Chains A and B, each alone.
Chain A
């Protein structure tokens, strides 16, 4: 199969790299674009550690072909932090609640939670559980993670109300 130049819109920046038709999005993001925050774990869509947002929707980058993702606005965990280095409220809440132990699943958890909070700013505990049902954590259990997402939702809403 032929190599070609693939252009990706990752975290708002346009990035070109050489890809082959069989390459997975997670490999391109990690190896070609150097954004190693996205983790490759099960590579079969069970664990969700490789979750990135494509046009705002969470997808498993380990099951997505890179060639199919060129027309989509991709967002990885590196894009969560603001340009001045301020952490996203979700990241801050994960730190405050100790919602990561080994941290391997955290990138996926953050991206799925971001998609949830973008669509539903006031999620219930059940909504969070449902949204994160595709992300598996083997260290901490899920209580702290769900607490962190709910806390981040509150903080984002509070900041929005102050601004308004």
Chain B
């Protein structure tokens, strides 16, 4: 059953992504532009293993559940998602960084619901990536997991980083962006050394939740490795980005 206005789904590299609350994860995963330009989101959906959940879960439901070990919000941090909240008479827009508040808390006020999620279009030479590490099966209050997502835009010469987002999830109440690491990467050459340095900053900036099975040193090391790998992969995708005219026939 589709409710008009709530099952909107459009994705275009020049316009961005618009997703309504009824849009299932499987519908996004099958969209060619999501795979090509919003790779971090695509990878996060692809790695949701139980097929049932992909066929039933919605993107906005996943965001609004505000569960700290979910993957989709981390990838949406990298893509700088903006949520539209409405109470029927007034609407307001909230960036996803401002949406979460405390354990399982969101910016949704009584009487409000999230009616739309927008992702801005990526820059001309940009790439993104998402990676996660499991230690054990997913279960309630599972700490044995870390995920990371990055978005990198390169200049026209494809050498210097002009824009970057790095987000790490499963380390606290909600995913976080790492502004220090982002600032350190901006206007730098996209080299392995730069990514290593930024990953080091990310590992230092975060004091992750820990448990008996996974002590802080191990989780911090995984944060460093994941941050380095997502940055490197996002940059390599930005580099391998081919001429937009080549896939113009795929646009609708």
Q: A67-B1, A68-B1, A71-B1 are in contact. Are A48 and B56 (CB under 8 A)?
A: no
Distance in angstroms between the alpha carbons of A30 and B198 in the assembled complex:
55
Looking across the interface, which residue of chain A has its beta carbon closest to that of B140?
A46
- Contact residue range for chain A? 20 to 34
The answer to whether B49 has its CB under 8 Å from any CB of chain A is: yes
Distance in angstroms between the alpha carbons of A131 and B26 in the assembled complex:
14
Interface residues of A in 111-148 (CB under 8 A from B): 112, 115-116, 130-131, 133-135
Interface residues of B in 38-92 (CB under 8 A from A): 49-53, 55-56
Interface residues of A in 52-104 (CB under 8 A from B): 54, 57-60, 63-65, 67-68, 70-71
Give the total number of A-B pairs whose CB atoms are below 8 A apart. Answer: 39
Distance in angstroms between the alpha carbons of A64 and B53 in the assembled complex:
11
The answer to whether A106 has its CB under 8 Å from any CB of chain B is: no
- The distance from the CB of B109 to the nearest CB of chain A, in whole angstroms, is 25
Looking across the interface, which residue of chain A has its beta carbon closest to that of B54?
A57
Consensus secondary structure, chain A interface: mixed
- The reply to whether A57 and B49 form a contact with Cβ atoms under 8 Å apart is no
- The reply to whether A115 and B56 form a contact with Cβ atoms under 8 Å apart is no
- The reply to whether B56 and A64 form a contact with Cβ atoms under 8 Å apart is yes
- The reply to whether B50 and A133 form a contact with Cβ atoms under 8 Å apart is yes
Looking across the interface, which residue of chain B has its beta carbon closest to that of A56?
B55
Query: In the complex, what residues of B have CB within 8 A of residue A115's CB?
Result: 51
12 residue pairs A–B, Cβ–Cβ below 8 Å: A45-B56, A48-B50, A57-B26, A58-B55, A59-B55, A59-B56, A67-B1, A70-B1, A112-B52, A116-B51, A134-B52, A135-B50
Q: Which 9 A-B pairs have the closest CB atoms?
A: A134-B50, A133-B49, A68-B1, A134-B52, A57-B55, A60-B52, A133-B50, A59-B55, A59-B56
- Residue ranges of B at the interface with A (Cβ–Cβ < 8 Å): 1, 26, 49-53, 55-56
